[in-house]
Structure 1
Amino acid sequence: MALDPSQIAVHAAPFEQPLTNFANRLKGGQVKVVAIGSSTTAGEGGIAPYPQRLLADLRIKFPNVEIEVINRGVGGEDAPLELKRFDHDIFDLKPDLVIWQIGTNSVWQPTGPSFADTTKAIRDGVDRLLGAEGIDVILMDLQYVPAVLTPAKKDKAIAMVEAISQIAHERRVNVFRRFALMKGWHEVAKISFDRMVDPGNDARLHASDWTTDKMTWELTDAIAAAVNNVPHGA
């Protein structure tokens, strides 16, 4: 019998910060989201990427709103290179919400950016986003997959997750805690990596269609809850 995702008890941690700008734009009937990141954002292996699914899911949550989700993912990049694209791929588009998926390639790629360069770029990027008027920020941390859980990489992966969380706490922005969510699916809900990882990806890095779909619903639910937490009149 196929596993029903609705029966999984593990859910994403709620956001700690309200999405005030996004909520106000919803009231006006029109919102724009920019998703920037690497292969999780861009899409890999023919699997529909999460921004495409997020658009459909948000339209279900907010049916009377004109919603645009713009995908600015580039496979293989991480924060230092993505930061260089901010003017063209974020600020020129004037989004109300930016979802920045970060950290994986610094951990996984042998020649990827250093830990220090990546975390500095994340801090600098968040500061730039917060310095722009009218943008809410969600950081998306690493995927919990075999490629970043090897003995050589696991400690660095955990350190990167912790660094992203610390930056978000300091800057008071939200984190979509994908690493913890997927870890819960695997260790608590007992979902196998064969189900969670794209079977066509020999590196055991990229998420499966099932994972991408379930993750996007969790992200959508977290966004909707954060909208509901915005104080009236904010």
Structure 2
Amino acid sequence: MTVTRQDTEAVRALQGLADGRPSVRLRAALAVGTAPDPRCVEALVERCAIEPEFFVRDMLTWALTRHPVSVTLPALIREARSQRAQARSQALHTLSKIGDRQAWPVITRALLSDADDEVARSAWRAAVVLVPEGEESALATVLATQLGRGGRETQLSLSRALVALGETIVPALRAAAKAPDPGMRAHALATERLLRDPDAGFEFAIEEAKRAVALGGSGRGDNGAC
């Protein structure tokens, strides 16, 4: 059997992805992305699940986006259902970068409410990219159940995802603004503020919303107008 130069390069890249040095893994991912080889897709996906370095994971994702969707999509959809949190998170992140709506069915309520914040954040970002036309309102309703969750970064991620859906989120936000949980109410008010005034900034919006909730107000004026 003849061993081609492409075969040799593929073997070298696969070995590099498993190297103990981050710089070598980075170069290997770059090489695979520069000269895409479907035989390397599984290795790229598997490495995403365990790669500890952010900048290497970012390169792995880029390399996967360089391959045909017909090859990457099945592997990423499988990983999005993995028991490993990082595997789910990275698969969802990569699906959001690929942006092919064939992957929409993998965005389940379970992923959108995943106990791991990084997985949930990746699911929110992927959802707003992949959601089919006409299903934005239903997605907003599910996302709104997560309002008030986590720290600032998690809440900011959710607000950005919701705002990306546009005006369709308003009914879900208004409903959440009446929830028993003050954290959910404040987050809903802050997100609506960002929808109306993107330049307000999340910190300002959330602090203003917390004050409104503490005072028992809606944050939208006595007549309920925005």
Asked if these proteins are the same fold (TM beyond 0.5), I'd say no
Using CA pairs under 8 Å that are at least 6 residues apart, name the structure with larger relative contact order, 1 or 2.
Answer: 1
Instruction: Give me the TM-score of the superposition, normalised by structure 2.
Output: 0.30
When you count strand as a share of all residues, which structure comes out higher?
Answer: 1
- Report which of the two has the higher share of helix: 2
The TM-score, its normalising length taken from structure 1, stands at 0.29
